[in-house]
């Protein structure tokens, strides 16, 4: 077994702290990665605090991982030592169901092994995430980081990037559409960049005026403060699509009223408590409410190549791992511009 240093939450109430653990030896299909950077996703906060229920402890979070290949197994042909690679939200899946066969591994009907807070395909061995020095991953679940990308700006694309790219592509959102992005955080700021790059007219809906200038800089045409009641009246029936990235409970019905007839609101944010849904905002205008989860491996590579071509990376604040608990508090307060990325060289 390989000895690895990381940071873990030992239970739902304790802050993250240094934690030593073991990973499997490099198998024939495996790649050993030396981790350079790992983004902090709000899902890390939800899960370390057991806000979704069923959390497994000790938990080493982190699913926005970028690092260099240190060693490859004998059957690995696509990756070689020294190459920059990425690992996102899952590290294995059943490989045989119809979803896996279609490259939609995130919707695997068998067992999906999430990068942390989950188990390997054996259903027993816990998985540990990217707040650590090294990770061993089957080559099928890795992506290449394009050469022209800065690795620290690429890390958040492995979750925030793909989670917003996938629904924008699935619903073919582009030039003909008005898209509202609700919440300007890690996911929201990537949704604005990618939505704009796809040609949509993007509006940001945020709780205050603080992020107005940033929204414009990121590519939004319009910005509205949702704490002002007039906003909802002024924007009624304006949007073809709404991408909701909000991490906390909020009134979905008010946002549904902002869709045109046949408009679609897509939830990607995953608040800990259920939302109250009224029928009328949906039935009066044949509106749709949908959801989307991350993206498959092939699509994640496509997203990275798309972002590299258009010079899109995340706006980041790089921190040493010793500041992770402070960073979590700032994420919860909505005080991040727009993703924290941990420099793993700080983990000694």
When the beta carbons of 207 and 216 are compared against ligand NAP, the nearer one is: 207
Determine the distance from the C-alpha atom of residue 262 to the mean position of all C-alpha atoms in its chain, rounded to a whole number.
27
Distance separating alpha carbons of residues 246 and 224, to the nearest angstrom: 15
The phi and psi torsions of 170 (rounded to 5 degrees) equal -60, -45
6's contact among ligand NAP, Zn ion, none, with CB below 5 to 8 A by partner kind, is none
108 vs 137, beta carbon nearer Zn ion: 108
120: which residues sit within 8 A by CB, 6+ positions away?
Answer: 91, 92, 113, 126, 127
Element (H, E) at 299: helix 297-309
CB 241, CB 180: distance < 8 Å: yes
Cβ neighbours of residue 294 closer than 8 Å, sequence gap 6 or more: 88, 89, 90, 106, 159, 162, 163, 166, 300
Q: Which is nearer to ligand NAP, 41 or 289 (CB)?
A: 41
Q: How far is the CB of 143 from ligand NAP (least distance, A)?
A: 16
Contact partner at residue 245 from ligand NAP, Zn ion, none, CB < 5 to 8 Å by partner kind: ligand NAP
Task: CB nearer to Zn ion: give 41 or 149.
Answer: 41
Radius of gyration of the chain (CA): 20
Q: Is 43 in the site for ligand NAP (CB under 6 A)?
A: yes
Judged by CB under 6 A, the chain residues 270 through 299 that form the site for ligand NAP are 270, 292-294
Helix (H) or strand (E) holding 304: helix 297-309
Cβ 1 vs Cβ 20: under 8 Å: no
Q: Kindly state the tokens that stand for 111.
A: 């067992």
SS3 275: coil
User: Minimum distance between the CB of residue 286 and ligand NAP, rounded to whole angstroms?
Assistant: 24
Using the rule CB under 6 A, give the single segment among 110-118, 156-164, 277-285, 316-324 that binds ligand NAP.
156-164
207, 216, 221, 260: which one binds ligand NAP (CB under 6 A): 207
Does 94 bind Zn ion (CB under 5 A)? Our answer is yes
Show Cβ contacts of residue 171 under 8 Å, excluding neighbours closer than 6 positions: 241, 264, 266
Interface segment toward ligand NAP; rule CB under 6 A; list 40-48, 94-102, 280-288, 320-328: 40-48
Residue 118 in contact with ligand NAP, rule: CB under 6 A: no
Candidate residues 180, 266, 268, 341; the one interacting with ligand NAP per rule CB under 6 A: 268
Q: Which of 224, 334, 341, 344 binds ligand NAP (CB under 6 A)?
A: 334
Instruction: Say which entry of ligand NAP, Zn ion, none residue 108 contacts (CB below 5 to 8 A, set by partner kind).
Output: Zn ion
Q: Does 115 bind Zn ion (CB under 5 A)?
A: no
Instruction: Work out the number of other CB atoms within 10 angstroms of the CB of residue 195.
Output: 27
Which residue's C-beta sits nearest to Zn ion? 41
Torsion (CA) 304, 306, 311, 317 in degrees, nearest 10 = -40
Tell me which residues in 152-211 interact with Zn ion (CB under 5 A).
159
Binding partner selected for residue 135 from Zn ion, ligand NAP, none, CB under the kind-specific 5 to 8 Å limit: none
133's CB contacts (< 8 A; 6+ apart) are 4, 5, 6, 34, 35, 344, 347
Q: How many residues sit close enough to ligand NAP to count as binding (CB under 6 A)?
A: 30
Query: Contact positions toward ligand NAP, by CB under 6 A?
Result: 41-43, 46, 159-160, 163, 183-188, 206-207, 211, 245-248, 250, 268-270, 292-294, 331, 334, 336
Contacting residues toward Zn ion, per CB under 5 A: 41, 43, 93-94, 97, 100, 108, 110, 159
């Amino acid at each position: 077994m390989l000895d690895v240093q990381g940071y873990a939450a030992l239970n739902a109430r304790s802050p993250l702290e240094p934690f030593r653990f073991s990973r499997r030896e490099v198998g024939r299909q495996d790649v050993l990665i030396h981790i350079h950077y790992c983004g902090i996703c709000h899902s890390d906060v939800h899960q370390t605090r057991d806000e979704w229920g069923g959390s497994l402890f000790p938990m080493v979070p982190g699913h926005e991982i970028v690092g260099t290949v240190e060693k490859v197994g004998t059957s690995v042909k696509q990756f070689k030592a020294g190459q920059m690679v990425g690992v996102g939200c899952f590290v294995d899946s059943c490989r045989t169901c119809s979803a896996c066969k279609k490259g939609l591994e995130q919707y695997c009907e068998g067992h999906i092994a999430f990068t942390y807070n989950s188990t390997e395909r054996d259903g027993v061995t816990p998985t540990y995430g990217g707040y650590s020095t090294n990770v061993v991953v089957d080559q099928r679940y890795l992506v290449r980081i394009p050469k022209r990308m800065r690795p620290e700006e690429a890390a958040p694309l492995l979750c925030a990037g793909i989670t917003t790219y996938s629904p924008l592509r699935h619903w073919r959102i582009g030039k003909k559409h008005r898209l509202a992005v609700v919440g300007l955080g890690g996911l929201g700021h990537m949704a604005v960049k990618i939505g704009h790059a796809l040609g949509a007219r993007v509006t940001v809906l945020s709780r205050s005026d603080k992020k107005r200038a940033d929204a414009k800089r990121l590519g939004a045409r319009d910005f509205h403060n949702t704490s002002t009641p007039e906003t909802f009246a002024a924007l009624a029936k304006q949007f073809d699509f709404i991408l909701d990235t909000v991490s906390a409970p909020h009134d979905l019905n008010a946002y549904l009223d902002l869709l045109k007839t046949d408009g679609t609101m897509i939830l990607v944010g995953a608040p800990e408590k259920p939302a109250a849904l009224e029928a009328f905002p949906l039935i009066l205008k044949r509106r749709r409410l949908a959801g989307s989860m991350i993206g498959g491996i092939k699509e994640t590579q496509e997203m990275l190549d798309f972002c590299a071509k258009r010079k899109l990376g995340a706006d980041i604040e790089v921190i040493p791992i010793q500041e992770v608990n402070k960073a979590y508090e700032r994420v919860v307060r909505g005080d991040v511009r727009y993703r924290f990325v941990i420099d793993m060289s700080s983990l000694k």
